[in-house]
Structure 1
Amino acid sequence: MRAVVVTTSYPISNDDPSGHFVRSSAQELARSGAEVHVIAAGGSVLDAPSRDGELFVHRAGGGALFGWPGVVARARESPLRLLSAGPFALSVLARLRQIGPVDRAVAHWIVPCAWPLLLASPGAPLEVRAHGADVRLLLRAPRAARSSIVGALLRRGARFVFAAGALRDALAGALASEQARALLGASRVEPPAFDLPPVAERADTLRREILQGPAERVAVVACRLIPTKRVELAIEAARAAGPGLRLVVVGDGPERAALERLAGRGGPADGVSSAGGAAVRFTGALPRREALAWIGAADVLLHPSSHEAAPTVIREARALGVPVVACDAGDVVAWARDDDGILVAEGTAESLAAALRAIPSRRSDRAPAPLP
């Protein structure tokens, strides 16, 4: 069986955190015996295909728009980057012609990745995976455009896989009743696959390095530093939680300078400063394994994001046995009903601080939680 996966996000190396869940999904498909071709944003359609283990990776350009720290941030920085969406779709079509007939087609993100597959491989079953930003884009689109896109995919016989039930409910609720019923009947909810490399030894080393006393605790925020992640709330909550809490901000993005000023630091990267009694450390962007080690070193993962679907970082933290304090977004509340290691707080510094104070210092016997 030959399969093609079309995506705007795919890692450029083993340690690149971008699109690692897409890679894990494609690897699962390859393990089932399929010959898997991934068409991903970045590079050029003129680049020769490369190998990523068992996967064949074909680049289709569009990196000006579909790159770190995300489409919204890149388009806000330079609206002209939106013009890259059209050439990317055309390059995907060119790659599909080069690959030839396939037995299965998978699009990660409804838009723009599913559209080229409507025009190619007409006999192959089409699976469309929605992760969040694509659904939010459709919800902001005119009703006629939203209905046209979903209707075209349903007529093609596409099966939809939503990363979170909240995403499916939101999209169905924005469609006419007949189309909504069709969407619900052609879809399922399934959080994205992810791999978890061993990081325990490195996590213990990081914990020993940052803690200065037995009464101290470590809270970690791991995300792109963009407005919807609300890292400023994490800094304010750490300040309000009282002494003995060290906050580590893992990641980078356009909000970093403002967040550093809020934390009261302006020194060199990877420094430590005091934010009202809480020590705050900014690591900058890290390889994925190192970022996971910081999560594993924590007493708690703090995730105050306002826009999520099925946040992988929360699932990674729970798989590492780390408690989570998060705000209500996506399926987080539903997960918390089945996992007492996830505390859901209101989106205020005071509420997050109270939840942080309720998390005890890490025990050596803590165990991973079952994944949602």
Structure 2
Amino acid sequence: MKLALVVPGGVDRGGERRVIPALLHFIARLAQAHEVHVFALRQEAKPARWPLAGATIHNVGEGWTRWRAIRAIAAEHRRAPFDRIHAIFSGPCGQVAVAAGLWLHCPTLVHIAGGELVALRDIRYGGRQNWRGRLCEALVLRCADQVTAASAPIIDILHRLGIDAQRVPLGVDLAAWPPQSPRRRPAGPARLIHVASLNRVKDQHTLLHALAALKGRGIEFTMDVVGVDTLAGQIQRLATTLGLASHVRFLGFRTQRELRPLMCAAHLLVMSSRHEAGPLVLLEAAVAGIPTVGTAVGHLAEWSPAAALTAPPGDWIALADAIEHVLADEDLRLQLAWSAQRRAMREDADHTARAFEALYLSVRDAPALPVRLRR
């Protein structure tokens, strides 16, 4: 098959920075059996093209991006027709994929991978914050031939909106991120890790207050925080204010190769997000034998309590309680780690590619627009 993938970015020509690892693993697997063209809306400012992971990347660039992306897909379609058009993320990517699919009479798939279906207005996050966003998402999801999402909570939202959807996690490449058996924690301070960009939706404010509560209870720990700072040092200043400067290291961005030893040295991953469709880092930690405590979103919500412990989003006291509970019970920590690892390895990158390939085959050639609109 000839496939068009529409993505916001995550496909930098260097293959290490400004990438989405799960996306690269998926592209590489598809490219082994299919001709894959990836249309990145804003990877770089100017239009460009380069090879990556066996696929051809078409960077659309800034300025009338959606319209130019549709035209770029149509131009490549004229060279040789696409069999399927697949948006990873809805929002602008879904709009481009569906519009191109309708124009070219090509089946389309849309994968919900972020905050497309939520409205967190206090932090200006989500695709459904106003009527225009809700209308755009409704049109995209009802015109797509197949809708998927990474985790059960997102599937539940789609079902409540009247959209039939299938769960397809974006899995870990077990060759690039090899499994490691869970290990018993030695004596001494617990080593915690948090991997996420510093931003409002990841909610490091709640994370640091939970850590301050742990410190107040006399629990010994250190934490590595890995991720790009988008808040101009606000979280680092909060850590100092809360007396956590000697407990928390802010390491900034790390490549996958740099992240791996940090993850393997940790005893517990802690996530504090207000919303997640995944996150992939939960799966990476599980494969590395590290259990997770976090807020009840995405995979965390569907894995709890057998393979993760959760607290309500924004509740740092409950998050601190959950962390303390796991650190105080080593048998529980190992039980969570083994259960999480089994789940993550069942749904690895190979599983992701097989699931999407099956969906590509299951959707039929696209009829005219009035027939395709979902009821």
TM-score tier, shorter chain, comes to: 0.7 to 0.9
Q: How does 1:357-368 map to 2 (within 5 A)?
A: 357-360=324-327, 367=338, 368=341
With 302-311 and 160-169 compared, the bigger mean Cα shift is at: 160-169
With 348-357 and 104-113 compared, the bigger mean Cα shift is at: 348-357
Aligned: 1:130 with 2:112: yes
Q: CA deviation at 1:2?
A: 0.8
- Aligned with 2:36: secondary structure? strand
Q: CA deviation at 1:338?
A: 4.1
* Separation in 2, partners of 1:151, 1:337: 36
The answer for the alignment partner of 1:334 in structure 2 is: 302
Q: Is the 8 A contact 2:178 2:288 kept in 1?
A: no
Q: CA deviation at 1:215?
A: 1.2
The answer for the alignment partner of 2:153 in structure 1 is: 166
Q: Is the 8 A contact 1:5 1:39 kept in 2?
A: yes
Q: Which structure exhibits the higher relative contact order, with contacts defined as CA atoms closer than 8 Å and separated by 6 or more residues?
A: 2
- Aligned with 2:254: secondary structure? coil
Q: How does 1:43-192 map to 2 (within 5 A)?
A: 43=44, 46-47=47-48, 49-62=49-62, 84=63, 87-100=64-77, 101-121=81-101, 122-136=104-118, 137-142=126-131, 146-147=134-135, 149-151=137-139, 154-155=142-143, 158-173=145-160, 175=161, 180=162, 183-184=163-164, 187-192=165-170
* Separation in 2, partners of 1:19, 1:318: 18
TM-score of the pair, normalised by structure 2: 0.75
Amino acid at match of 1:146: R
| Structure 1: 5+ residue stretches without partners | 63-83, 205-210, 266-272
Amino acid at match of 1:322: I
* Separation in 2, partners of 1:247, 1:54: 37
Q: CA deviation at 1:369?
A: 3.5
Q: CA deviation at 1:279?
A: 1.2
Q: Is the 8 A contact 2:87 2:93 kept in 1?
A: yes
* Separation in 2, partners of 1:356, 1:124: 48
* Separation in 1, partners of 2:276, 2:137: 22
* Separation in 1, partners of 2:96, 2:129: 22
Q: CA deviation at 1:36?
A: 0.4
The answer for the alignment partner of 2:191 in structure 1 is: 218
* Separation in 2, partners of 1:255, 1:199: 33
The answer for the alignment partner of 1:28 in structure 2 is: 29
Q: CA deviation at 1:58?
A: 0.9
* Separation in 2, partners of 1:17, 1:333: 28
Amino acid at match of 1:344: T
Q: Is the 8 A contact 2:226 2:251 kept in 1?
A: yes
* Separation in 2, partners of 1:117, 1:262: 41
Amino acid at match of 2:310: V
The answer for the alignment partner of 2:266 in structure 1 is: 298
* Separation in 2, partners of 1:321, 1:17: 26
Aligned: 1:355 with 2:344: no
Structure 1 pair 138–112 and aligned structure 2 pair: CA distance change class (3 A)? same
Identity of aligned residues (%): 22
Q: Is the 8 A contact 2:270 2:293 kept in 1?
A: yes
Structure 1 pair 330–46 and aligned structure 2 pair: CA distance change class (3 A)? closer
Selected match of 2:172 from 194, 213, 219: 194
Deviations along 1:63-114, whole A, 9 cap, x unmatched? Answer: xxxxxxxxxxxxxxxxxxxxx5xx1112212321332221111111222112
The answer for the alignment partner of 1:344 in structure 2 is: 310
- The count of corresponding residues between Structure 1 and Structure 2 is 317
- Aligned with 1:248: secondary structure? strand
- Aligned with 1:134: secondary structure? coil
Structure 1 pair 200–296 and aligned structure 2 pair: CA distance change class (3 A)? farther
- Aligned with 1:369: secondary structure? helix
* Separation in 2, partners of 1:188, 1:226: 29
* Separation in 2, partners of 1:97, 1:45: 19
Selected match of 1:240 from 210, 213, 217: 213
Q: Is the 8 A contact 2:24 2:53 kept in 1?
A: no
